[in-house]
């Protein structure tokens, strides 16, 4: 075993690809029910052709309202009315719905949901790669409750694997492919509890670098560079910044030592220069933290790649896999835009996810590659009022305040003020908000205030720039950050075994259907 591992770290890692301590998932009720659901789905659609490759796209926080608004937004950016548009993944031939609740939460988080999608076992909120027996933060129980992931099983079967995200590579969704931890926030050793740190429990960044299933992950692209560098190291993009690790370890250097023929890159130019024929592995960490929103990417000094560019780069390497590949792609900042109450950025991320799916479909063979696009959970975004056809999706409602014919004038509420088509059930865009705003924001809705400085009414949007990048949509319930929502999320699928995706399903069905398509037997 590698140096610097405690008993807990050893239990979580693998020797020769064989788990040292794992939960018996085949006896888990969620796992059993998932296998049965896939068997029933197969009986309903008949025999399905196996898939050589699988690409799982996850739009973090991309509920139905986000899909609809992004569809309209993309069309309007092309000068169309927008409603008739289709996002790239909406053209996939099969659809289903996933129920997203965690075992302990009615409205879920991203850690529990990705564990369901990649392990076949529903679990608690806040934990990754462990079953529901593990209480959040209980590192001593993590080894016994650890569950195998689809990415690990793909590696053990000889497939090549990859992870692409716009968040930190150690964030909940991407980490769901390789990490086993009772706390999703333990991305770096500095964030571990004092007890877990003293016991030598491996943080998520360590688990990525020390991953030893099969021959290891071929490509990992995302943000979170600071979590891999010691506090004494300067960031390569911004010398004023340093790493975040307190243990003194340089995980980038360790990764390079483990992969002497691999490529470590930190900007788009370096990524584009990688020769997949001569480079078997790539680690790309393009920002100290999360990558820039697509709306802000052009202003990045280091030159970050887009989600589409990262997806294409991953496929250039993985498409050479003799036995096939499994690729996880996350558009993670849809979620962050929504939490900030900023539909402009959230929809921009969703449109870029559509672009990435389009590139993936163009680059792969539909008879070999199963493409599945879904979300881990929804958000409280709403599309309401009676705007006329083609009304700017980010604009105020122009039309009727009721079901009468539109009159080409802004609709008014009962106090005589305009309102937007998009809004949030909760979040920072409430009357009187001044500090809760998205990254780089300098503009909030214009709130009416009395002479005492207190909010007297909802904002008058007559002259508000509701389509500006930093505008926050109004929210009904005042919160520092908008929350997730609990309704079912869509699943779109195309390629071999895609017909398995139909009907309303538990979220862990995604794992079982993908495993069936790849011919992966239960552990």
Q: Which residue has the higher pLDDT, 432 or 63?
A: 63
List, for residues 457-471, the tens digit of each pLDDT value.
Answer: 788 999 999 999 999
Q: Which range has the worst mean pLDDT, 109-113, 178-182, 413-417?
A: 413-417
Residue pair 438/343 in contact by the 8 Å Cβ criterion? no
Place of tokens 């083609």: 390
- Cα 396 versus chain centre, distance: 30
Query: Over 70: is that where the pLDDT of 150 sits?
Result: yes
Query: Over 70: is that where the pLDDT of 65 sits?
Result: yes
What is the share, in percent, of the chain residues with pLDDT greater than 90? 87
Rounded average pLDDT over 28-52: 97
Q: Do the strands 369-374 and 53-59 form a parallel or antiparallel pair, or are they unpaired? A: parallel
Residue pair 131/31 in contact by the 8 Å Cβ criterion? no
Rounded average pLDDT over 205-224: 98
Rounded average pLDDT over 55-60: 99
Rounded average pLDDT over 158-174: 98
- Residues 268, 159: Cα–Cα separation, whole Å: 26
- Residues 223, 163: Cα–Cα separation, whole Å: 12
Annotated domain spans of the chain: 7-381+483-518
Query: Over 80: is that where the pLDDT of 71 sits?
Result: yes
pLDDT given at position 141:
96
pLDDT band at 404 (very low <50, low <70, confident <90, very high): confident
pLDDT given at position 431:
81
Distance set, CA 330 to CA 72, 170, 253, 415 (Å): 22, 12, 26, 42
List, for residues 425-457, the tens digit of each pLDDT value.
Answer: 999 998 866 544 444 444 444 444 434 444 447
Rounded average pLDDT over 90-97: 98
Query: Over 50: is that where the pLDDT of 504 sits?
Result: yes
Half-sphere exposure of residue 381: CA atoms within 13 angstroms, side-chain side: 34
pLDDT band at 373 (very low <50, low <70, confident <90, very high): very high
List, for residues 221-279, the tens digit of each pLDDT value.
Answer: 999 999 999 999 999 999 999 999 999 999 999 999 999 999 999 999 999 999 999 99
**pTM, to two decimals:** 0.93
Give SS3 for 299. helix
What mean pLDDT, rounded, does the chain reach? 92
Residue pair 38/516 in contact by the 8 Å Cβ criterion? yes
pLDDT given at position 455:
45
- Structure tokens belonging to residue 136: 């959040």
- The beta strands (E) that lie in 69-159 are given as 94-99
Q: What CATH superfamily is the domain 7-381+483-518?
A: Alkaline Phosphatase, subunit A (3.40.720.10)
Count Cβ atoms below 10 Å from residue 404 Cβ, excluding itself: 9
Q: Indicate the burial class of 242 (C-beta count within 10 angstroms; 0-12, 13-18, 19 or more).
A: middle
Query: Over 80: is that where the pLDDT of 3 sits?
Result: no
Give 253's contacts (C-beta < 8 A, 6+ positions apart).
none
Query: Over 60: is that where the pLDDT of 195 sits?
Result: yes
Rounded average pLDDT over 396-411: 91
Query: Over 90: is that where the pLDDT of 508 sits?
Result: yes
pLDDT given at position 400:
87
What amino acid positions are annotated as catalytic residues?
A: 110
pLDDT given at position 456:
47
Q: Do the strands 422-427 and 263-265 form a parallel or antiparallel pair, or are they unpaired? A: unpaired
Which stretches of 327-476 are DSSP H helices?
Answer: 333-339, 343-363
List, for residues 356-365, the tens digit of each pLDDT value.
Answer: 999 999 999 9
Rounded average pLDDT over 45-59: 97
Rounded average pLDDT over 375-396: 97
């Amino acid at each position: 075993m590698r140096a610097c591992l405690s008993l807990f770290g050893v239990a979580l890692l693998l020797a020769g690809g064989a788990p040292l301590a794992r939960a018996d998932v085949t006896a888990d009720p969620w796992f059993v029910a998932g296998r049965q659901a896939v068997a029933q789905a197969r009986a309903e659609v008949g025999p399905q052709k196996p898939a050589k490759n699988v690409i799982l796209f996850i739009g973090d926080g991309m509920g139905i309202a986000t899909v609809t608004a992004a569809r309209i937004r993309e069309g309007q950016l092309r000068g169309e009315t927008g409603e008739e548009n289709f996002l790239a993944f909406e053209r996939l031939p099969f659809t289903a719905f996933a129920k997203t609740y965690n075992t302990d939460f009615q409205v879920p988080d991203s850690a529990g949901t990705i564990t369901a999608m990649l392990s076949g076992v529903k679990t608690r909120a806040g934990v990754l790669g462990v079953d529901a027996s593990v209480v959040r933060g209980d590192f001593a129980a993590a080894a016994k409750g650890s569950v195998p992931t689809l990415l690990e099983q793909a590696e053990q079967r000889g497939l090549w694997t990859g992870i692409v995200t716009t968040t930190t590579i150690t964030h909940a969704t991407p980490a769901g492919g390789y990490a086993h931890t009772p706390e999703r926030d333990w991305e770096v050793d500095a964030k571990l509890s004092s007890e877990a740190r003293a016991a030598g429990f491996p943080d998520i960044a360590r688990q990525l670098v020390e991953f030893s299933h099969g021959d290891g992950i071929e490509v990992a692209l995302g943000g979170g560079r600071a979590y891999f560098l010691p506090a004494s190291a300067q960031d390569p993009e911004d010398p004023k910044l340093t790493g975040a690790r307190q243990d003194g370890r340089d995980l980038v250097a360790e990764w390079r030592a483990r992969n002497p023929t691999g490529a470590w890159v930190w900007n788009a130019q370096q990524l584009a220069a990688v020769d997949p024929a001569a480079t078997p592995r790539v680690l790309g960490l393009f920002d100290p933290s999360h990558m820039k929103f697509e709306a802000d990417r052009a202003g990045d000094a280091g030159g970050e790649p887009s989600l589409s560019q990262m997806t294409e780069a991953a496929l250039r390497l993985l498409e050479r896999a003799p036995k096939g590949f499994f690729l996880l792609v996350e558009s993670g900042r849809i979620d962050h835009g929504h939490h900030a109450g900023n539909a402009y950025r959230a929809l921009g991320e969703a449109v870029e996810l559509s672009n990435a799916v389009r590139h993936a479909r163009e680059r792969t063979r539909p008879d070999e590659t199963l493409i599945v696009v879904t979300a881990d959970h929804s958000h409280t975004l709403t599309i309401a009022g009676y705007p006329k056809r083609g009304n700017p999706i980010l604009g105020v409602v122009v039309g009727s305040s009721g079901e009468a014919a539109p009159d080409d004038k802004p609709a008014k509420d009962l106090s005589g003020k305009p309102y937007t088509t998009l809004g949030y059930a909760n979040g920072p865009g409430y009357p009187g908000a001044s500090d809760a705003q998205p990254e780089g924001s300098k503009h909030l809705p214009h709130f009416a205030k009395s002479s005492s400085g207190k909010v007297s009414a909802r904002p008058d949007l007559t002259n508000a720039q509701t389509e500006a990048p930093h505008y926050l949509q109004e929210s009904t319930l005042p919160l520092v950050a908008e929350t997730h929502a609990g309704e079912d999320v869509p699943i779109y699928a195309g390629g071999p075994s895609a017909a398995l995706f139909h009907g309303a399903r538990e979220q862990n069905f995604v794992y079982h259907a993908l495993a069936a398509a790849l011919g992966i037997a239960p552990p």
